[in-house]
Amino acid sequence: MKIAVAGTGYVGLSIAVLASQKHEVVAVDVIQEKVDLINKRISPIEDHEIQDFMKNKELNLKATTDAKEGYSGAEVIFVAGPTDYDPKNNYFDTSIIELIFSDISKYNRNAIVCIKSTVPVGYTAQTKIKFPELKLIFSPEFLREGKALYDNLHPSRIIVGEKSKDGETIANILKEGSLDSNTPVLFTSSTEAEAVKLFSNTYLALRVAYFNELDSYALTHNLDTKQIIEGVGLDPRIGKHYNNPSFGFGGYCLPKDTKQLRANYENVPNNIIKAIVDSNRTRKDFLADQIIEMKPKKVGIFRLVMKEGSDNFRASAIQGIMKRIKAKGIECIVYEPVLKEDNFFGSKKIDSLDEFKRASDVILSNRLHPELEDVAEKVFTRDLFTRD
C-alpha cells in the first residue's frame, strides 16, 4: 500500500517512519532542507527512536516537496500539518491543513484522508461539507515531543473518528506498526474523537496546574512541597505520576489545546476549563515575582526547550518567566545549544556553559540537570522529582 504523509513535524514524521516498516511511504513537506535530510536518512527533528529507525532500520520511505508526486496513487494520506492557536480569532488556525486538502482534492480524490492535526471540536464534520469529494477521517494523536515514535510504537490507545471499513484501515495501519499487540482501539464519530483529544490534553494541563498551585501555596507558607506531594500521591486514586512542579505547562500542545477547548465552551457554562488557562498565567506571575524579589542583576536561562531530548522551544514555560522579569529591567542571558541565532528576543546567547554559569547571578532551570550541580546555589527551579 502506498501511504502519503503531509507534514514532517514530530507527528507526521513519526507516522511516516512507523508506517514505512510495512508500506511504501512518501512524506510531503514544503521545506526542501527537511526533505533532503529525510532522503539521506537523517532525522530533521530531535527524537531518539526516529533517529535510530532512520539510521538502522529498513524503511520504505522517501520525501518530496512535490505534492502531486506524493499524493498521487496513495491509498491513505495522513495530514499532520500545524494548527497553531490564533489569539485574534480565538481558534486554531487550520489554513495550512486546508491548503493540503486542496492539493489532495486536485491530485487524489480516492484516498482515505486521515487528519492527525489537532483541530477544534466539530471541525471534521464541517470540513466534509467544504470538501465533499474527500473521504475525511479524524484520528487524534497522543504523542510527546522527543518521544513521538516511541509513543506510536507503544500507543496508550488508538482512537479513530469513523465507524467504517475506512476507519478500520486507519486503525490497522497504526496498530500493525506498533510493538504492542493489546492496544485498545476505539471507534467513535469524528466530533467525539476531536473532543477526546482536547479533553485529554486539558486534563493533563489541569494536573500540572494543580500541583503547581500546591507548590505556590507551600512556597508562600514555607512548607516542604515534596513531602506534601508524596503524601497526596500515596492515595491510589491520585497516584504519583504527572506531579512534578514546574514553571507552568508549555510546549506546542497543552497551551493551545486548553485555549481551544475554552473557546469551544463559548456557550457552555464552565468554571474549571477557564481556570486551567488562567492558572498557567498566574503561576508564571507568581514565580517571576519570587525571582524579582531576589534582586538579581543578570539571570541565566538554562535551556529554552521544554524537555530533555527535544529540540523544540515553542511556548516553553521558561519563556513566560523570562519575559516577565525582563519587563522589570532584569538582564537575561541564554544557554541553549539548539538555538542557532546569537540572541533570543534581545537576550544574548552564551555558547560556553562555564561562562554562562559565571555570568549569571541566578540560573532558571525548569528541570534539574547534572550540568548545574556545581552551581546549585545559583539555580532556581521547582523540579522536585526528576532525579528521584
**Four-way CATH pick for 223-380: 1.10.10.10, 3.30.360.10, 3.30.420.40, 3.40.50.720:** 3.40.50.720
Q: Is 288 exposed, middle or buried (0-12, 13-18, 19+ CB in 10 A)?
A: buried
Q: What are phi and psi of 98, to 5 degrees?
A: -75, -30
At 266 the pLDDT is: 86
Could you report the per-residue pLDDT of 61-93, keeping only the tens digit for each?
999 999 999 999 999 999 999 998 887 777 889
pLDDT band at 314 (very low <50, low <70, confident <90, very high): low
Q: Is 332 a catalytic residue?
A: no
Q: Is the predicted pLDDT of residue 311 greater than 70, yes or no?
A: no
At 255 the pLDDT is: 85
Could you report the per-residue pLDDT of 160-186, keeping only the tens digit for each?
999 999 999 999 999 998 999 899 999
Domains 2-188 and 223-380 belong to one CATH topology: yes
At 14 the pLDDT is: 97
Of 11, 2, 8, 22, nearest to 175 (Cα)?
22
Residues 6+ apart with CB under 8 A from 300: 332, 333, 334, 335, 350, 356, 357, 359, 360, 362, 363, 364, 378
Residues 6+ apart with CB under 8 A from 55: 41
pLDDT band at 307 (very low <50, low <70, confident <90, very high): low
Could you report the per-residue pLDDT of 187-245, keeping only the tens digit for each?
999 999 999 999 999 999 999 999 999 999 999 999 999 999 999 999 999 999 999 99
3-state secondary structure 188-234: CCHHHHHHHHHHHHHHHHHHHHHHHHHHHHHHHCCCCHHHHHHHHHC
- Nearest-angstrom CA–CA distance, 364 and 305: 13
Which grid cell is 310? Answer: 527535544
- Nearest-angstrom CA–CA distance, 223 and 116: 44
pLDDT band at 137 (very low <50, low <70, confident <90, very high): very high
Residue of 38, 143, 205, 253 marked active site? 253
Which grid cell is 54? Answer: 532512520
When pLDDT is averaged across residues 107-129 and rounded to a whole number, the result is 96
Share of the chain above pLDDT 90, in %: 87
Could you report the per-residue pLDDT of 4-25, keeping only the tens digit for each?
999 999 999 999 999 999 999 9
When pLDDT is averaged across residues 298-302 and rounded to a whole number, the result is 97
> What's the whole-number average pLDDT of the chain?
94
Share of the chain above pLDDT 70, in %: 97
Report residue 339 CA to chain centroid gap: 18
Q: Is the predicted pLDDT of residue 312 greater than 70, yes or no?
A: no
Give the residue extent of every domain in the chain: 2-188, 223-380
* Class level of CATH domain 2-188: alpha beta
- In sign, the C-alpha dihedral spanning 240, 244, 245, 247 is negative
Q: Is the predicted pLDDT of residue 309 greater than 80, yes or no?
A: no
Could you report the per-residue pLDDT of 248-272, keeping only the tens digit for each?
988 778 888 899 999 999 889 999 9
When pLDDT is averaged across residues 43-69 and rounded to a whole number, the result is 96
